[in-house]
Amino acid sequence: MGAWEHQLPAIGVVSMQVLYAAMALLNRAALVKGMSPRVFIFYRQTIATLVISPIAYFTRRGRSSTMPSMGFKSFLLVFITAFIGVTLNQNMYFEGLYLASSSIASATYNLIPAVTFMTAAVVGLEQVNIRTLSSAAKILGTTFCVVGAISMALLRGPKLLNTQLPPLNSALLQLYAVDNTWFLGVLCLLASSCCWSFWLILQVPVNARYPDHISLSAWMCFLSMLQTGAVALFLEPDPVSWNLSSGLELTCCIFSGVMGSGVQFFIQSWCISRRGPFYSAMFTPLATVITTVLACIFLREEIYLGSLLGAIAVIIGLYVVLWGKSEELRENLVLASEKCPTIIAQEKICGKIDLEQPLLTADNNTTDKDYVS
C-alpha cells in the first residue's frame, strides 16, 4: 500500500496530461466541424462557473469570519487578471488551435515556463546571475524555447504526414485577408502563452490581496464568463452561431468546463502539495507527444519537419529551464545549510529539497498553475 501511495502523484500528473491531450483533440475536432471558438469559450466558462461556485460558497461559508473580504482594488486586480489569463488567453489559444493544429498548440504550451522566467526577470521577481550555472541554464533553455517557437512558425519544411482541413470560422481571417493561416495560428498560440505567463506573474499581488484560492478561482471564472460573453456577443451577433448543433459540441463544452476547471484543478493542487510544481512541470511535454500521435491518427493533422524540430527544441528548452531552476534551489540550499545545517539535513531526509518550491522564486506565493480557466 505504501508503494502504491508513493506512485499516486505520478499517476495524477500523467492523467492530467492525458486530459490535456483529450481536450485539445476534442476542441480541435469541434472547431473544425464549425463551432464558433468565441461561443465555445463562453459556454466553457459558464459551466466552469457553475461547477466551482458552489464549492467556493460552501468552503468559505464555514470560515467567512477568518477570510478577508474583497475590496475595490482587489476586485479590479482580479478583473484584470481574469481578462488577461482567461478571456484574452483563451481567445488567442482557440484561434491558434483552429488555425494551426492541436499538436502545435500543445507544443507551444511548453513555452510558458520560459516566458514566465523572462517576464519575472524583467519585473524583478527572478534573480539572474550569468556567472552561476543555474542562471546560464535558464537563459540557454529560454533561448532554445524561443528558437523552437520561431521554427514552428517559419520553418515548416517538407510535410511528413496527412493533410490539413481549411479553417473557415476564424475571427482573424474575417478581419484580415491572410493566406498563411499556419503562421497566424502559431502567433496566436505564442500570444496565448505570453498571456498565461503574465497571469502567473499576476498571481503574486492577487494572492497577497486575496489569499482564498477557491473563492478566487470562482471569481475569475465568473468574471471571465461575463468578459467572454461580451466578446462573443460582439463578434458573433448571429443567434445561429450560439446553437450547439451536435453532440460533439455539447460534449466539448461540458468536458472542458468540468475537467478543465474541476478535476484538473483538484489533481494539480493535490500533486503540487505532495511533490511541488517542478515535479508536475516535468511531465508537461507528455501531453505534446500524446496529442501529436492521436491527432495524426484521428484528426489527420499534417506534420511538418520544421514544426516537429521546433517542438523538440521547445521541449529541450523546457527541461533545461527546469533543470536550471532546480540547480538554483540546490545552490540556495547549500548557502542556507551553512546557517542552519540541522534543518537542511532533515529536509534532505524527507526528500523535499527542491520539489515544493514555487516556479518563480522562493519568496513569493505563486504556484505552477491554478486551473481556473
Q: Where are the alpha helices (DSSP H) in 34-111?
A: 37-61, 72-82, 89-99, 102-108
Q: Which residue reads 503562421 in cell numbers?
A: 183
Taking the C-alpha atoms of residue 224 and residue 88, their distance in angstroms, rounded to an integer, is 9
Q: What pLDDT digit, counting tens, does each position of 206-235 carry?
A: 878 887 777 888 888 899 999 999 999 998
- What is the b/e burial string over 221-253, where b = at least 16 CB atoms within 10 angstroms of the residue's CB? bbbbbbbbbebbeebbeeeeeeebeeeebeebb
What pLDDT is attached to residue 116?
Answer: 77
Cell numbers at residue 314, please?
A: 521547445
Instruction: Report whether pLDDT(118) > 50.
Output: yes
What pLDDT is attached to residue 76?
Answer: 92
From residue 131, give the alpha-carbon distance in Å to each of 110, 134, 141, 325.
Answer: 26, 9, 16, 15
Taking the C-alpha atoms of residue 125 and residue 151, their distance in angstroms, rounded to an integer, is 29
Is 67 inside a domain boundary? Answer: yes
What pLDDT is attached to residue 341?
Answer: 56
Is 242 inside a domain boundary? Answer: yes
Residue 306 CB neighbour total at 10 angstroms: 15
Domain that holds residue 114: 8-323
Which phi-psi region, left, alpha or beta, contains residue 300 (left: φ > 0; alpha: ψ -120 to 50)? Answer: left
Is residue 290 within 8 Å of 21, Cβ to Cβ? yes
Q: What pLDDT digit, counting tens, does each position of 326-341 carry?
A: 787 777 777 777 666 5
Identify the residue with better confidence: 36 or 9: 36
Q: Which residues contact 252 (CB under 8 A, 6 or more apart)?
A: 26, 27, 29, 30, 35, 40
What pLDDT is attached to residue 262?
Answer: 60
Q: What is the mean pLDDT of the chain?
A: 75
Give the SS3 label for residue 301.
coil
Lowest-confidence region among 166-180, 184-198, 284-298: 166-180
Is residue 243 within 8 Å of 348, Cβ to Cβ? no
What is the rounded end-to-end Cα distance, in angstroms, of the chain?
Answer: 35
Give, in degrees to the nearest 5, the angle at Cα 173 between 172 and 174. Answer: 90
Q: What pLDDT digit, counting tens, does each position of 11-51 carry?
A: 887 888 888 888 888 888 888 888 888 898 999 889 888 88
Give, in degrees to the nearest 5, the angle at Cα 319 between 315 and 322. Answer: 135
Highest mean pLDDT of the ranges 58-72, 76-90, 340-354: 76-90
Instruction: Report whether pLDDT(127) > 90.
Output: no
Is 245 inside a domain boundary? Answer: yes
Strands 159-161 and 303-304: antiparallel
Q: What pLDDT digit, counting tens, does each position of 265-292 carry?
A: 667 656 766 766 556 666 777 777 788 7
Taking the C-alpha atoms of residue 212 and residue 194, their distance in angstroms, rounded to an integer, is 25
State mean pLDDT over 248-276.
73
Is 348 inside a domain boundary? Answer: no
Give the SS3 label for residue 347.
helix
Cell numbers at residue 37, please?
A: 471558438
Q: What pLDDT digit, counting tens, does each position of 131-144 carry?
A: 788 888 888 888 88
Provide the domain count of the chain. Answer: 1
* pTM: predicted TM-score of the whole model, two decimal places: 0.72
Identify the residue with better confidence: 249 or 63: 249
Taking the C-alpha atoms of residue 98 and residue 289, their distance in angstroms, rounded to an integer, is 19
Enumerate long-range contacts of 203-206, CB under 8 Å, 24 or more apart.
Answer: 203/81, 203/365, 203/366, 203/367, 203/370, 204/125, 204/360, 204/364, 204/365, 204/366, 205/77, 206/74, 206/77, 206/78, 206/81
Give the SS3 label for residue 267.
helix
State mean pLDDT over 125-136.
77
Cell numbers at residue 218, please?
A: 470562482
Is 2 inside a domain boundary? Answer: no
Q: What pLDDT digit, counting tens, does each position of 300-311 carry?
A: 776 777 777 877
Identify the residue with better confidence: 360 or 279: 279
Looking at the chain, the whole-number percentage of residues with pLDDT higher than 90 is 7
What pLDDT is attached to residue 26?
Answer: 85
What pLDDT is attached to residue 370?
Answer: 40
Instruction: Report whether pLDDT(3) > 70.
Output: no
Is 339 inside a domain boundary? Answer: no
| Number of residues assigned to the chain | 373
Lowest-confidence region among 59-63, 192-196, 347-351: 347-351
Is 209 inside a domain boundary? Answer: yes
Q: Which residues contact 304 (CB under 8 A, 6 or more apart)?
A: 156, 157, 158, 159, 160
Is 365 inside a domain boundary? Answer: no
Is residue 60 within 8 Å of 210, Cβ to Cβ? no
Q: What pLDDT digit, counting tens, does each position of 75-116 carry?
A: 999 999 999 988 999 999 888 888 887 878 888 877 877 787
